[in-house]
Structure 1
């Protein structure tokens, strides 16, 4: 099959592309950092977001994957950075839809990145794909992002909103940053420790995306989280135990808010999210226990 991927140079994109190439699929990757020298028989890099649509002779594309967007972890959420976070997602999605409109045939599926942040935060509620949506900056950003991607329905394309939890990998993302203090004997609790972490192993992200591609009845929002979320304190204990490092230090909420500003919500708040759609459609997670995941990745 032919895949068109936006945002393919990030953590999820690279893992997905590696698997697609192993499976002998062909990938067309839209990127700002274009270099034809990086092309292989199975991967073609195409420049985009340069004020005009790519004049590339695309073949028939079977599946489109949109992972593009300015990182939430890029710095304090100033008014200007908030605007960039939102506008980057809307711009890339709008341009991707314009590219789709020019394709020789319509793809059968759009897998659009999203986030469990759409539900807001809570220490007591359990969220699934049918839960009410939140009303903070992150929730509203994700709602606008999904609404923009929903326009793919105008082309009769099956559309799935992949609401990612905390993606765990040793090649990037949040986990190496969480592990680093423990390596220097400075590990400990972040915030109260009672905040839920709805996590997912990078392998289950890739496997879940491919599972959806092969199950045409799945559409709409899909939570990409392990069936067993953990409290932040439990995550710290598992890292501490596996690395044989102490878990002594505490970074209180107030200090995190001073250092990170509103962005501290990514650490101090959380939500207990269930992957109901994947489970009800028969997906079997490869990684469900946080202790096993830490051992697997480290």
Structure 2
């Protein structure tokens, strides 16, 4: 297949390119082609942007992973706008190009996040659940709406609500590891709020699965079938690293340090991949202990 990918130099994108490059011809969209080639290699075709394209006739599939990191900086109004624009603008442009194509791509796989659901307390949610209206939901709701505009008889749109991605050398674990390695790790607050996670290998294989599943379309939760609370996660990470994990992070300290953005960590959700499982996808890592063990001890 000929596949167009945005966001390919990110943590997930790099692993996805590694998975797909042997069997498919990849075109990478990047604002910094020199950096992208250094990260991904020179065997791919590179585009500095989408402005030079009038359609996507030559592509069989499009994968959209682009977006400003949502936890990269404190949420000022300016940063909130960057978070929105970095997701909405490129998604709208891709949908427009697909609509303008006479032979459009057969599939459009577009990222979203479990932030769509907002705070949910202890009640598990799946793809059919109602969301709590807050900033993370507003970002994801419009992001998904723009992607779904590309849906037609010729193009399947699959939207992935992605959880906390666990893998080596990046992602959420890279930020969590320092205190744990020093023996200072532990749960956040009481640790009862949900942490819905997915191993990076499962995420990349899920994207591959959706490209190849001719009946798959709509919303799919990219989360393992067994979410945990923060206390369980901290205990599992500490056990895997052979470090104690009993020092809680005060919620107030997080809110003072991160502002509104702390809600993403403090509130949490228990997200179940109901439609993902129904599509026939089989997770390799369904429980947190073997997932972390594969990352640190394989």
Identify the TM-score tier after normalising by the shorter chain.
over 0.9
Indicate the residue corresponding to 2:196 in structure 1: 198
TM-score (norm 2): 0.93
Task: Tell me the CA shift for residue 154 of structure 1.
Answer: 5.7
Q: Within 5 A, what are the aligned runs for 1:1-298?
A: 1-22=1-22, 24-35=23-34, 42-48=43-49, 53-54=51-52, 60-101=58-99, 105-153=103-151, 156-298=154-296
Tell me the secondary structure at the aligned position of residue 18 of structure 1: helix
Deviations 1:129-176 (A, max 9, x none): 111122010011100111111211268421011110111111211112
Could you tell me whether the CA contact under 8 Å between 1:61 and 1:103 is conserved in 2?
no
Q: Distance in 2 between matches of 1:11 and 1:104?
A: 33
Q: Distance in 2 between matches of 1:229 and 1:57?
A: 40
Could you tell me whether the CA contact under 8 Å between 2:122 and 2:193 is conserved in 1?
no
Q: CA RMSD in A?
A: 2.0
Q: Distance in 2 between matches of 1:148 and 1:59?
A: 20
With over 3 angstroms needed to count, the CA separation of the structure-2 counterparts of 1:292 and 1:94, relative to structure 1, is same
Q: Distance in 2 between matches of 1:264 and 1:42?
A: 40
Q: Distance in 2 between matches of 1:176 and 1:192?
A: 23
Tell me the secondary structure at the aligned position of residue 105 of structure 1: coil
Could you tell me whether the CA contact under 8 Å between 1:223 and 1:278 is conserved in 2?
yes
Task: Flag structure 2 segments of 5+ consecutive residues without an equivalent.
Answer: none
Task: Tell me the CA shift for residue 34 of structure 1.
Answer: 1.4
Task: Tell me the CA shift for residue 123 of structure 1.
Answer: 2.5
Deviations 1:96-122 (A, max 9, x none): 234435656310000010011111112
Aligned residues: 294
Give the structure with the larger strand fraction. Answer: 1
Could you tell me whether the CA contact under 8 Å between 1:46 and 1:56 is conserved in 2?
no
Could you tell me whether the CA contact under 8 Å between 1:5 and 1:29 is conserved in 2?
yes
Tell me the secondary structure at the aligned position of residue 138 of structure 1: helix
Q: Which region of structure 1 is more displaced relative to structure 2, 172-181 or 222-231?
A: 172-181
Deviations 1:211-235 (A, max 9, x none): 1111111111000000000011111
Task: Flag structure 1 segments of 5+ consecutive residues without an equivalent.
Answer: none
Tell me the secondary structure at the aligned position of residue 220 of structure 2: strand
